[in-house]
Structure 1
Amino acid sequence: AWNGLLVAGLGIQPIVATLVLMVAGRGVAQLITEGQIINFLDPTMVYLGNGHLFGLPFTLTLVVVMVIIAHFLVRRTALGLFIESIGDNDEASRYSGINAKQVKFLVYTFSGFCAGLAGLVACSNIKSADANNIGLYLELDAILAVVVGGTSLSGGRFYLIGAVIGGLFIQTLTTTLYAKDVSSDISPVPKALVIIAVCLFQSELFRARLSKLLRPMQKFWKPVSSRLPHQLFAPARHDSPKP
């Protein structure tokens, strides 16, 4: 909600507002906890990150419920069209009668609610509140999941299911790095490289220059492929057995 107030109400750049509140939020959390790790054994809090419902982890149920709610809001109501319109062209959406400030505020509020749930689950996993380390670098994972899912950082159309698949990919990458005994201090580096690579391939200018760079290789490959036996490029035949 505070992010929405800064961005929609005061017109501050989203990345600036996010960084400011991220630092301020960690500072307030450390002030409340006095920089100490606070352990808890409340059954409800422990169940949130470690419990099971119908034989499945409760966190999985929570994710499914939130995805269904988000899908309904953005694909079954006009809100999704408003979000895409504002992301594609903020000024044009205002001229068309869309209340851009209100939509932005609602989006940031829902995003903050999801972040709060994620924070509760992260605390529940370790049964403690650690303001110094919990959620560290998770903003990088969130950005990477969205980008890998096919959503452009420049705004416009977004893909909810793609973001979910991107999140699974990031978690798989994180688990693989831990399994390979990669230090937690180094693990953000490959993730950052993936973000850079995906952003580059989303850039039309980069794709045009890459195509121009690979054009000589295409000219070389065509005469080579023409001299190869055509059987290499013909589709495989599956003859039915004779009776």
Structure 2
Amino acid sequence: MGRSALWTAIRDTLLTEITNGHYPPGARLPTEAQLSDRFNVNRHTVRRALAALADSEIVHARRGAGVFVRHVPTPYPIGRRVRFHQNIQAAGHIPEKRVLNLETRLANVHERKALKLGAQAKVHIYEGVSISDNVPLAFFCSAFPAGRFPDMLEALAENGSVTAAFRRHGVTDYVRQSTEITGKIASQIHASLLELRPGDPILRTIGINVDAFERPIELGRTWFAADRVTLTLSETG
């Protein structure tokens, strides 16, 4: 069997196993060394087979972690009530949030306008990565009026739940007032956080949440890996 047939045979074998669910979406494939031993070939041949699968967008490599089966796009409703954990669990996946930054600072011009704040007002900033089945879906950055929610950062540090943090401050329900969706390309920072390549497509949403009296309480900016979510708009959700 020629060298060309070897790597194509390995590619086809792995593709069949992926298709049959042996390696489900988000699963890590065996290492190059393990595949080399399994097929009795050198790593260069294995690497070529994996590269072919990557070119077909069936798998993707995560630096320092291995090669993973691409995630089937997760349905993600955007409506009146956007709740990350509920959306991910409803799609049959396991949600997780990785907190990257919690800080208080002066609000910038955009935040003051969206949250209807004064010139010297401060905001609490909550940044992190939303994860589904160990696969990063989105990077998020939320701003909250610091004056109204003095203990917001402490509450978020406990479990990362915005809903629980609002409830601690007496806000039992909140809804999305507006959502703006824009197609972008991944910057170096976003690519690193979402395990993408710089220039890969992403979707940025900017949303404003309000309380029962329609007072703005959160400005949320989220950058989704475009091939991992299907954003659906709902008038009632």
* Shared fold per TM-score greater than 0.5: no
Larger-gyration structure (1/2)? 1
Which structure has more helix as a fraction of its residues? Answer: 1
Which structure has more strand as a fraction of its residues? Answer: 2
* TM-score of the superposed pair, with normalisation by structure 1: 0.23
* TM-score of the superposed pair, with normalisation by structure 2: 0.23
